Amino acid sequence: MAGKLAVIGAGLMGSGIAQVSAQAGWDVVLRDVTDEALNRGLDGIKASYDKFVSKGKLDAADAEAALARITPTTDLDAAGDADVVVEAVFEKIEVKHEIFRALDKIAREDAVLASNTSAIPITKIAAVTGRPERVVGTHFFSPVPMMQLCELVRGHKTSDETLARAREFAESVGKTCIVVNRDVAGFVTTRLISALVVEAAKLYESGVASAEDIDIACKLGFGHAMGPLATADLTGVDILLHAASNIYTESQDEKFAPPELMRRMVDAGDIGRKSGQGFYKH
110 plus 171 within the same structural domain: yes
135 plus 15 within the same structural domain: yes
15 plus 133 within the same structural domain: yes
135 plus 261 within the same structural domain: no
Helices and strands per DSSP (H, E), number in the chain: 11, 8
In a domain, 118, yes or no: yes
Measured between alpha carbons, how far is 78 from 27 in angstroms, rounded to an integer? 12
Count up the domains in the chain and report the number.
2
Angle separating helix axes 12-23 and 60-68, nearest 10 degrees: 120
In a domain, 99, yes or no: yes
Coil, helix or strand at residue 22? helix
pLDDT in tens, the chain (282 residues): 679 999 999 999 999 999 999 999 999 999 999 999 999 999 999 999 999 999 999 999 999 999 999 999 999 999 999 999 999 999 889 999 999 999 999 999 999 999 999 888 999 999 999 999 999 999 999 889 999 999 999 999 999 999 999 999 999 999 999 999 999 988 999 999 999 999 999 999 999 999 999 999 999 999 999 999 999 999 899 999 998 998 999 899 999 999 999 999 999 999 999 999 999 999
Chain-centroid distance of CA 226 in Å reads 19
pTM: 0.90
In CATH, what number is assigned to the domain containing residue 35?
A: 3.40.50.720
139 plus 208 within the same structural domain: no
153 plus 206 within the same structural domain: no
Among candidate residues 142, 256, 249, 250, the one with its CA nearest the CA of residue 197: 256
In a domain, 87, yes or no: yes
Domain end (from 127, 152, 180): 180
Domain end (from 180, 198, 225): 180
The secondary structure element, H or E, covering residue 153 is strand 149-154
Phi, psi (degrees; rounded to nearest 5) at 111: -70, 145
How many other CB atoms are there within 10 angstroms of residue 189's CB atom? 16
Q: Please, which residues have CB within 8 angstroms of residue 126's CB and are 6 or more apart in sequence?
A: 100, 113, 132, 135, 155, 156, 157, 158
163 plus 195 within the same structural domain: no
44 plus 104 within the same structural domain: yes
Domain end (from 149, 180, 211): 180
The domain in which residue 39 lies consists of 4-180
Q: Please, which residues have CB within 8 angstroms of residue 20's CB and are 6 or more apart in sequence?
A: 144, 145, 173, 174, 175
